[in-house]
Structure 1
Amino acid sequence: MKTIGKFAAWSIVTACLALTVSSGIADAYTADSYQITRGQDLHWKNNIISTNIKEKDMQATSLTADSENQFKADLMLWNTFPIKSVDIAVTGEKELIPCGTPFGIRLFTNGVIVVGTADIPTQDGMVNPATCAGIKTGDIIQKINGKDVNQNEEVAALVEKSDGKALELELERNGRVFTATLHPVTCETDNLYKAGLWVRDSTAGIGTMTFYDPETGSFGGLGHAICDTDTGEVMPLRSGDILPVTICGIAKGEKGLPGELRGYFSNDTAIGSLCANVQAGVYGNLEKTFEGTSVTMAMKQDITTGKVQILTTINEDGPQYYDAEIESIDLRNQSETKNMVLHVTDPELLKATGGIVQGMSGSPILQNGKLVGAVTHVFVNDPTRGYGIFAENMLNVSQIVNPQAVSKDAA
C-alpha cells in the first residue's frame, strides 16, 4: 500500500510539474492579444491552446467587454487549464488582393536627416560646429531659428546667411525633441559660413507591393520601413509617391552577400501617394483600381508551419508564385516585422535569385489560398531563408496610419 501511495504521490507531482512547465512554455510562446472573425473559435496546435469564445458568447457575463468588439478572455491549455488573460478583438473577414508587383518609391523627408558631420578648416584650425553643438548622426533637424526646414538647400542658405551668428536648431532624436545652439564658422577654403553638417532630405528605391484593399483603394508594401542608408534610421515622411517599375536584371544572392532586383522607374508619373513610412512598411493610396482576385486574410493564429507560396516579380513576366516553407512562427510580436522564418524551396527561384533578394521585400505570402504575410528580410549568411511579417500586422498598421484604409464596416 505504501508503494502504491508513493507512486500516486509521485504521479501527482510529475503531472503538476508537467502542467507547470507546459503552461510556462505556452505563456512564453503565445500572444497577449488576438483578432478573430465573427463566429470563429480561437484554437490552434490541434486544440492544445484555445479559448472558447464564440459569437453566442459575446454577451456572456463571464467575458468583460472593453468596447463593442473588444473582450477579455482566458487562454486555455488543453481546453482545461487557464494560461493567461488575453485581449480578443472580434472583426469581420477581410478580403485583400495580393499584389507581388514591384513599385518605385520616391520619398521626401519631414525635416532633414543628419547623415554625418565634418571638420571645417578655419583660420583657427579645424573646427566642427555640429559636434560642438551636440548634434549627432541620425538627428532630424526640424527647425532653424523657428523656421521649418525640409530641404538641404534651406539648411545651407540659413547657415550661409547667418553672418556667423548663433542659430537655434530644433531637432528630434529617438522620438525626443530638443534644441541646440549652432555657431557657424567661416570656411577658409571658400570664405562661406559652414555648419559642418551633411544632411539628406529625400530617397528613392524599389520594393514590392503586398496588398491592395478594394474596399478603400489603399495599399501596403515593403513590410519594413525605408531607412536612411547611412544612419539606419527610419526616414520621416513628409510626402511621397509610388511609381511604376520595370525589373531589368538580378544580382543573385550568395552567402555573405545579399542579392538584389535591378530595375528602373518606367516613367515619372505617380501611380499612388504615400501616407506613412513606419517599421511595418509603407502605406498609401493608389490613383487607380488594382486589378486582381481578392483572397481572405488569415489571422496570425491560423498560420501554420509548412508549405506556402511567395508571389513576387523577378522579370518581365510579372508576378509569379514560387514555393517556400514557413519554418517557425513567433506569435508574441516581439518584433513587428520578423514574425516567421521562411525557407525558399522553389528550384526556379533559387536558380534565378539564390533565394530572397533586396527588392523582394513586401512580396505576399499565401497559405491554403489565404494571405498570411509578406517577405521582409533575408538572412545574410543564407539567402534561401529570411523573415516574414504577418499580414494581420500590416493591415492593422495601415488602418492606424491611413484613415482612408478603414472600411465603413470597420469604422
Structure 2
Amino acid sequence: MGWSRQLKLAVSFSVLLLVMPFNADVASARVASLIPMGQSIGIKMELSGIFVTNDVMVEDDHWLKAGDLIEQVDQVEVKALADFEKMATGLDDEQAIVLQVKQSVQTNQIKTDGEAMKRLLPFLKDRTEGTGTLTYVDPEKGTYGALGHQIIDSTLKSPPSFKNGAIYLSEIDQIKKSVPGIPGYKISTVVEDEDFLGTIRINGVYGIFGAWNDAHKKVLAEPLEIMQPSELKVGEAKIFTTVKGTTVEPFSIEITQVDAEQFQFILTDAALLEATGGILQGMSGSPVIQDGKFVGAVTHMFVDEPKKGAGLFLEKMRSGEK
C-alpha cells in the first residue's frame, strides 16, 4: 500500500520517507498554485526486463532468487515475458538451456532444461500494478504528482526498474475497512484501460510524477494557492479523496501536530469513518486543504490507530518532480 522516525508504529503504503533539506526561499519562487485532485488511480508500469518473483530451483542446487533479472536465453536477449514464454513452450523437457541472469551485482550463467523453463513461468513478471490517489496537476507545466511516496514492488521488495508507465482513472467498487492493527484497502477497477490520465516519468521517494494528459481537462478543479509549512495551523482541515465510484469528496480532519517536514492529523468526518474505519491503503496522495489553501498530501497511517495519520507538505513533495 512509516515514513517518519517519529512515527514508529506508522505504516507506509510503500517505503520509508527520507528527510531532505528544503529551501523555503526557492519554494516561494515556484508556481504559486496547483489543482488539488483526489481521484483514485490505477498504476501500471512496464518493467525493464523479466524479473523472478519467488525463489525457484531450476537445476539441482541452482536457484533463481526473487528479484533476479533474466537477461538472455541461450545468448538470445529477452525483454518481455511473452517472448520468454514462447521460447519455453517450444522446448523439449530434456533440452539443455543456459540462462544469463543478473543476480544482485553480478551476472551468472545458469544451466537448466526445457522442463525447468516451463516450471519457471508462473514465477516471472515484466510489469507491476498498484493503486493510489492523484494529488495534484500543475496546469502551467502540464505535469502531475501522486501518492506522496515511492512505489515498491510487493514481490521484488524494491523500487522497480521500469521502461514506461501510466496512471489511469479507477473506480472504487468496495472498501475493506481499517481496524486497529490491520490496515484496510480499496478494491477498485480501471475505468478505461486504454485511456490514461498521464505517463510515469519518475518513481521517487516523494511520489510518482509525469506528464498530464490534456484530454482529461474535464476532471480538473480550480487551482489553489500552495500553503507554506509555516502557515499550517493546528485545527480543522479537509482531505479530498474517493471512497465510492469515481467521485472526489471533501472530508473533515483535525491537524494535531505541525513539524518542519510533515504534519499529523486525525480523521473526524463521521461519514468517512463509517465507510472506511480510518485511513486506507490506496488513500496515500489524497490532497489536504486548510483555509482554502493546498497544504499537502496524506502519506501514511498509524497501524494501531487507523484514525490517525500524517502528511507531506506539498512543496516537499514537489521537490521530487525534478
TM-score class, shorter: 0.7 to 0.9
Shift of 1:92: 4.0
Q: 1:391 to 1:273 in 2, by over 3 A?
A: same
Q: What do you get for the CA RMSD once the two structures are aligned?
A: 3.1
**Paired position in structure 2 for 1:274:** 200
The answer for the alignment partner of 1:94 in structure 2 is: 32
Aligned to 2:163: 238
Residue number in structure 1 paired with 2:252:
323
Q: Please, which of 271, 275, 293 is the counterpart of residue 222 of structure 2?
A: 293
State the alpha-carbon separation in 1 of the partners of residues 97 and 124 from structure 2. 21
Q: Is the 8 A contact 1:365 1:375 kept in 2?
A: yes
SS state of the match for residue 209, structure 1? strand
Unmatched runs of 5 consecutive residues or more in structure 1: 1-29, 37-87, 131-135, 334-338, 401-411
State how far apart, in whole Å, the 2-side matches of 1:90 and 1:147 are. 53
Aligned residues: 297
Tell whether the 8 Å contact from 2:288 to 2:294 is kept in structure 1 after alignment.
Answer: yes
Is 1:322–1:346's contact at 8 Å kept on the other side of the alignment? yes
User: For residues 32 and 244 of structure 1, what CA distance do their matches in structure 2 show?
Assistant: 33
The structure showing larger relative contact order (alpha-carbon pairs under 8 Å, at least 6 residues apart) is 2
Task: Give the number of the structure whose alpha-carbon radius of gyration is greater.
Answer: 1
Structure 2 partner of 1:82: none
Instruction: Please identify, of 94-103 and 280-289, the stretch whose mean Cα deviation from structure 2 is larger.
Output: 280-289
Q: Give CA deviations for 1:305-338 in whole Å, capped at 9, x if unaligned.
A: 332211111114711111112333342x5xxxxx
Q: Is the 8 A contact 1:226 1:277 kept in 2?
A: yes
- 1:395 aligned counterpart, secondary structure: helix
Counterparts in 2 of 1:299-378, with a 5 A limit? 299-316=228-245, 318-331=247-260, 339-378=262-301
Partner residue of 2:5?
Answer: none
| C-alpha distance in 2 between matches for 1:142 and 1:262 | 34
1:35 corresponds to which residue? Answer: 24
2:127 and 2:280 map into 1 onto residues whose CA distance is 23
In structure 2, distance between residues paired with 1:323 and 1:196: 47
1:170-249 alignment, distance < 5 Å = 170=102, 173=104, 178-186=105-113, 190=115, 198-249=123-174
Unaligned runs of 5+ in 2: 1-18
CA distance change for structure 1 residues 116 and 108 in 2, over 3 Å: closer, same or farther?
same
1:263 aligns with 2:188: yes
Paired amino acid for 2:106: T
Q: Partner residue of 1:395?
A: 318
Deviates more, 1:366-375 or 1:105-114: 105-114
Report if the CA contact (8 A) 2:70-2:99 is conserved. no
* 1:284 pairs with one of 210, 213, 229: 210
The AA in structure 2 aligned to 1:284 is G
Q: For residues 184 and 308 of structure 2, what CA distance do their matches in structure 1 show?
A: 13
Task: Pick one of 26, 45, 52 that aligns with 1:107.
Answer: 45
Aligned-partner SS, 2:233: coil
Give identity over the alignment, percent.
28
Aligned to 2:13: none
Distance 1:216 1:116 in 2: 41
